[in-house]
Structure 1
Amino acid sequence: MIYALAAYIVLQFAIALWASRYVRTEADYFVGGRRFGLLMVGVSVFATWFGAETVMGASGAIADEGLAGGRADPFGYTICLIGMALFLAYKLRDAGVMTFPDYMQQRFGPRAEVLAAILTIPTSIIWASAQLLAMGQILAETAGIALGIALFGGAVLIIAYTTIGGLLGDALTDMVQGAVMMIGLFILLLTLLASGDFAFSEITPDQLQWRITDEDGETESWLAALDTWMIPILGSLVAQEAISRFLGAKSASIARKGCFLAAGLYLVFGSIPLAIGLLGHAAGFEAASTDSYLPELARQYLSPVLYVLLMGAIISAILSTVDTTLLAVSAIASRNLIDRVGKNLPEPRKLMFGRSLTLIAGLAAWAIAASGETIKGLVEIASSFGSAGIVVALLIGLHTRYGGERAALAALITGALMSFLGYGVPAWAVSLFSEAAAEGMPGWTQGFEGSFIFSILSAIAAYIAVAELDRRGILAKSQKESPAAS
């Protein structure tokens, strides 16, 4: 197993080194020189989206919670990809940008660009950390080493080949990764069905409920269920990880069609971990943890050769997501933060900054992965935190001329604030106002139900309110009367 993984990683590096020959400019590094055809866009977006939470986290969650555990994977993220095709891909690619904050600058101005970049970078790093954690768990189980060592080794490998090859190298490796992943999951499902221990007829009606019922028999509210749907559908709509892939398309039309292709692939192959979770629960299979559900099931039922193939598939899913996420962070940090300070830098200097920022992003993701969170928990934070205002401002900005920079800033700030409050208030923040109130508090207080939906609605309200004030000249008038306040 170790030798097989080593051979697989060597192949990844070979592809990255070959692709590095074509990386000469910032555009080559971040959007692959805009060389991608339909198949490469579709498979690349699919492979990027099909991460550790789909292969490992989803099957365990579905085994525990039934269909309710699959609201994000595969259904929510499939709808999200369709939304990208319908509302983002054509217009963003047609605008010729490299990141979505680039468009925020074109449409709303530099302050909206910088704020969108600042809100996006932390969530992308958290997303990458979830994938690193999954890879660390696989390496630790396979090689029999400590998780901390496996995490660090996995991070070094991913950072190295991502820094070398850029998006072109990532997209080319995605073609290999996507093929291995599809074959591995399909073989596992067929093997389980052929074993005789698993049958669709054994799935019980309670596994097919769309709302979670806890051990006390309490069913979650419709508001909480709707919020769970909206986090992957809207919260991930503005993920630079996927956006960068269709921005590398040869044309706007290919960008849109590629997202539709990715959505179809995601639904089909994302349904395999869903089926495995339902079948495993019906058969009474139990794993040590949610995140290790699919690997443990595979180890028990697959031959050593097929098990190696499946682990290669999971590693594929992780690698294709992490490398793109690190590039997304470095692209936004380089273009939308550093370039604002040092304008008109020569291309070699821009390329150097991009690669350096990829390294820094990878180290930050490794540090978060080592903190002890679960894969699913990290992904939920990454999908919802701070994205509400970005979704609102970007969609309105792309499809209308309504509202300007102040409206966008209002939406971004309001959405971020509501997301923060939705997770609860940290004890250290309470202690700033009252030491007594902070005593005995957990690390975070309990947030409120439906927080992401309220974040979206609040951001919409803030955008419209400020846009109307702008349209009527009220804000402009008040700024003239009080320059200091503005």
Structure 2
Amino acid sequence: MLVILAIGWYASRKVHNSSDYVVAGRRLGFGLGTGALIATWFGAGTAMGGAGNAYIFGNQGVIFDPWGAGACLIIVGFFFGRLLRRGRYISLADLYTSRYGKGMGILSMVSLVIAEMGWTGAMLVGFGSIIHYFTGLSLAWGIGVSTVVMVTYTMKGGMWAVTLTDSLQLLVLFVGLIAMLIVGVPQLGGWSHLFGANGAQSNMMNFPHWSWLPHGTDGFMGYTGLTGWVYWVGAWITIGFGSIPAQSLTQRVLAARDERTTVGISIVGGVIYILMGLIPVSMAMLYFQSHPGLTIQEASNELLLLMASNYLTATLLALFVCALVAALMSSAAGAVLAASTLIGDNGYRLLTGKQSNESTLKITRYAIPVVTGVSLWLALDFKTIYHLMVIAWSILLVSLFASYVAAFFWWRANETGAVAAFFWWRANETGAIAGFIGGFATWIGCYYWYLPITSAANTDVGHGAGSGVYFQWAMWDALYIASVWGLVGSIVCLVVVSLATQRINKPKPLVDIDGNPMRKAVWFGISRR
């Protein structure tokens, strides 16, 4: 933590304006850019929450992350990276404001800030769990100590501070994970116990270990029929689609030095992310076979730490824990910086109508402790890493994803003939706002529809959850299943209202940060240009 504070002080000397602070001056190359992207994405949810979910549910429990989260990065690289970088936006709310208008810009800013604070809360729970496990301090004190350090270095150095620490953190964490894999797997029975017949059903809920689809009488996560299939879709798209319109991801894409770099760091970063994420997942699956007695609470937040303590030497354990703390801090700092950027840049301009580099930088810095304070409250209230992280991206899935895709790809074509006729109508602000509200309303309505079903499925689950309905699981299950219908509702409202209001609310063109029409050619990721 002292090293991180020193880097924050050093990075602050490179910050001369809001562009340096928010997107590192748009000069990140492939190496630093890839490191920053993976280190930001690879946090407590993947390393600690993913291990816990694999121990409890097997592969079905980690479809959200790392599978869905890694797919998100690859999708961004192929379909959105070039256009985002071409627009030279400072934040994602810039896109919504320029493409739809001030009203949608404000709504997107609010939704993005809330989602980033939820994700930050998940990282803070990871901090607290590490410090509590190794020092005996309470979870609240552990969260508090880490929060102070993270706020200090992020306020000082911004994106440069986050970027300079990312690559080092990622390298040390990767070495620690590989060391734990090499040392731990033989002691846990070898790979045959993971992929052979002995490992076919070896997790707390006794689901098929490597199940990719709803499976027989078990369905998906214990739900059969249509509900099971809807849950399966939700598991893939909650982070796979929901985190595509995330400010913390967009900020790294915008910091790349050119379009090709943007595409490269997204696709390569997604592949490396999945491979790294499978290490704690595989270890957790093996660990259950020899240590099946953990409670749900122990597995959810502390399993990775328990495995590291059991199988790493003292030196490797110290390096691994330092790297893990640094990676979590990088993710949290990136999310806090993302939310603060939205407040300092977009909030200031949208509410005052003014634009000042000095004021933007000052407000962004001052917003960091405020955003962190709300995230701290969420962390102390929920205390669950994986669910807190996933629900953050569910918010963006149901509110912003449909209008995000429409902003880039539902435009009036310049061509003539059938193509022009098909794309003659475009998404407008009224439709985007309707999609935002309709998605949220459908999500909440379906949540209450599914809650009795999920409550019945999560009654007397055992494993330290107590008797009766385990409401924590029932609540999260209902929210995840309902998010699929929330996305459907958002798409329907966006399309129908946009088509109905074309004449009274003229659609705006897709433009860059300076208001110039966006060049739409060569938008697909793989290209020589």
Query: Could you say which TM-score interval applies, normalised by the shorter chain?
Result: 0.7 to 0.9
The residue aligned with 1:207 is 209
The residue aligned with 2:354 is 344
Q: 2:430 aligns with which of 406, 419, 434?
A: 406
The residue aligned with 2:319 is 309
Q: 2:175 aligns with which of 180, 183, 192?
A: 183
Matching residue's letter, 1:370: L
Does the Cα contact within 8 Å between 2:132 and 2:139 map onto a contact in 1?
A: yes
The residue aligned with 2:110 is 118
Worse overlay, 278-287 or 372-381: 278-287
Does the Cα contact within 8 Å between 2:108 and 2:400 map onto a contact in 1?
A: yes
Does the Cα contact within 8 Å between 2:308 and 2:317 map onto a contact in 1?
A: yes
Does the Cα contact within 8 Å between 1:89 and 1:256 map onto a contact in 2?
A: yes
TM-fit CA distance, 1:394: 1.0
In 2, Cα distance between the equivalents of 1:108 and 1:354? 24
In 2, Cα distance between the equivalents of 1:396 and 1:311? 43
In 1, Cα distance between the equivalents of 2:504 and 2:143? 54
TM-fit CA distance, 1:387: 3.1
TM-fit CA distance, 1:349: 2.3
- Cα distance 1:237–1:215, how it changes in 2: closer, same or farther (>3 A)? closer
The residue aligned with 2:331 is 321
Q: Which runs of 5+ in 1 are unaligned?
A: 1-8, 428-441, 477-486
* Residue 20 (str. 1) matches residue 27 (str. 2): no
Does the Cα contact within 8 Å between 2:55 and 2:299 map onto a contact in 1?
A: no
TM-score normalised by the chain length of structure 2: 0.81
The residue aligned with 1:258 is 265
- Cα distance 1:359–1:215, how it changes in 2: closer, same or farther (>3 A)? closer
TM-fit CA distance, 1:422: 4.1
TM-fit CA distance, 1:388: 2.2
In 2, Cα distance between the equivalents of 1:13 and 1:449? 38
The residue aligned with 1:439 is none
The residue aligned with 2:418 is none
Deviations 1:441-481 (A, max 9, x none): x899894773111111111111111121123x3779xxxxx
Does the Cα contact within 8 Å between 2:11 and 2:161 map onto a contact in 1?
A: yes
The residue aligned with 2:497 is 466
- Cα distance 1:323–1:423, how it changes in 2: closer, same or farther (>3 A)? farther
TM-fit CA distance, 1:285: 4.7
In 2, Cα distance between the equivalents of 1:447 and 1:79? 23
In 2, Cα distance between the equivalents of 1:42 and 1:247? 13
- Cα distance 1:403–1:215, how it changes in 2: closer, same or farther (>3 A)? closer
Q: How does 1:208-357 map to 2 (within 5 A)?
A: 208-210=210-212, 211=214, 213=218, 219=224, 221-287=228-294, 288-357=298-367
* Residue 455 (str. 1) matches residue 477 (str. 2): no
The residue aligned with 2:405 is 395
Does the Cα contact within 8 Å between 2:443 and 2:483 map onto a contact in 1?
A: yes
In 2, Cα distance between the equivalents of 1:281 and 1:14? 40
TM-fit CA distance, 1:399: 1.8
In 1, Cα distance between the equivalents of 2:478 and 2:167? 41
* Residue 99 (str. 1) matches residue 117 (str. 2): no
Deviations 1:52-95 (A, max 9, x none): 01111111111111111120222111111111112221111100
Number of residues paired by the alignment? Answer: 451
Does the Cα contact within 8 Å between 1:230 and 1:452 map onto a contact in 2?
A: no
Q: 2:372 aligns with which of 343, 349, 362?
A: 362
Does the Cα contact within 8 Å between 1:202 and 1:283 map onto a contact in 2?
A: no
Worse overlay, 449-458 or 229-238: 449-458
Q: Which runs of 5+ in 2 are unaligned?
A: 201-207, 412-425, 452-470, 507-529
- Cα distance 1:130–1:449, how it changes in 2: closer, same or farther (>3 A)? closer
Deviations 1:278-307 (A, max 9, x none): 211233354433211111111122221111
In 2, Cα distance between the equivalents of 1:218 and 1:93? 41
TM-score normalised by the chain length of structure 1: 0.88
TM-fit CA distance, 1:118: 1.1
The residue aligned with 1:4 is none
The residue aligned with 1:154 is 146
The residue aligned with 2:36 is 44
